[in-house]
Chains A and B, each alone.
Chain A
């Protein structure tokens, strides 16, 4: 049976929350699981960044780093609403 996803998922408040060291460590830990050949294209600009580069951006809390953090945290906060197939 598949859980229904809620239709009210919104990213609007994601970047208004304070980024704590724990959050940064969590995002870095997640990025460390990304394959070494994977690169993220994040829209503005033409450069794709590897997980190692993204980790550096996250540590610096650069604009790109913040964008990566907001997506990862939004995903974690959305987990209860995501459609998970169950046996």
Chain B
């Protein structure tokens, strides 16, 4: 049975979106009796993440948060995993990082350190929002395409698919959403350039 750990900090607008849009992932895992370790809000901290990973309590790890080329952060931008510092804790794990740019250096380093697979973004993750739904991000129709498509990676992983299959499921959803937006009179078709950007920069790296 999959042992899932998910981080979802919630301390400002962007992480608020990540937090609420990750709720369905936790619910899906719970409905499958996977008993996910849900490190939400201030529990998304380095001490707890490192503790669970050291004790091998998870084989699949989903990070939501800010990030850059070399790290992903949790509550109050505390660095959770940093390339070459503690990325070895991802050994034998399947990892999805919904965080900016972590696919550039941290992703490849994680694979070198023994991660089975890494899905992330090699450039900045972007999304449009309506500026009014910070406290109810699920109702934000501008943000919805960005989070539905990226959620698909995690959703497929939770359903037992491989990293590569999950990445491809997500790309399929991107293509469908983009096609729908480009060929209709949708009020939110202006979001497509950033959606294309995220899709083109989503990478799946696997251990050889």
Contacts of B129 in A (CB 8 A): 38-41, 48
* A10 CB to nearest chain B CB (Å): 7
- Our pick among B131, B187, B192 for the contact of A39 (Cβ within 8 Å) is B131
Asked if B20 lies at the interface with its beta carbon under 8 angstroms from chain A, I say: no
Asked if B96 lies at the interface with its beta carbon under 8 angstroms from chain A, I say: no
Interface size on B, residues (CB 8 A): 36
Please state if B124 and A37 are interface contacts (CB–CB under 8 Å).
no
Asked if B178 lies at the interface with its beta carbon under 8 angstroms from chain A, I say: yes
Please state if A43 and B125 are interface contacts (CB–CB under 8 Å).
yes
Given A78-B200, A83-B178, answer yes or no on A71-B125 (Cβ-Cβ < 8 Å).
no
* A30 CB to nearest chain B CB (Å): 8
* A58 CB to nearest chain B CB (Å): 13
Please state if A37 and B182 are interface contacts (CB–CB under 8 Å).
no
Interface size classification for chain A = 20 to 34
* B109 CB to nearest chain A CB (Å): 19
Please state if A42 and B124 are interface contacts (CB–CB under 8 Å).
yes
Please state if A75 and B130 are interface contacts (CB–CB under 8 Å).
no
Asked if A46 lies at the interface with its beta carbon under 8 angstroms from chain B, I say: yes
Asked if B83 lies at the interface with its beta carbon under 8 angstroms from chain A, I say: no
Asked if B30 lies at the interface with its beta carbon under 8 angstroms from chain A, I say: no
- Our pick among B13, B17, B127, B131 for the contact of A50 (Cβ within 8 Å) is B131
6 interchain residue pairs of minimum CB distance: A43-B124, A75-B193, A43-B100, A71-B197, A83-B175, A83-B179
Known: A39-B130, A44-B100. 19 other contacts (CB 8 A): A5-B175, A9-B196, A9-B199, A11-B197, A37-B130, A38-B129, A38-B131, A38-B190, A40-B129, A43-B100, A44-B68, A48-B13, A74-B200, A75-B192, A78-B196, A82-B179, A82-B196, A83-B179, A84-B179
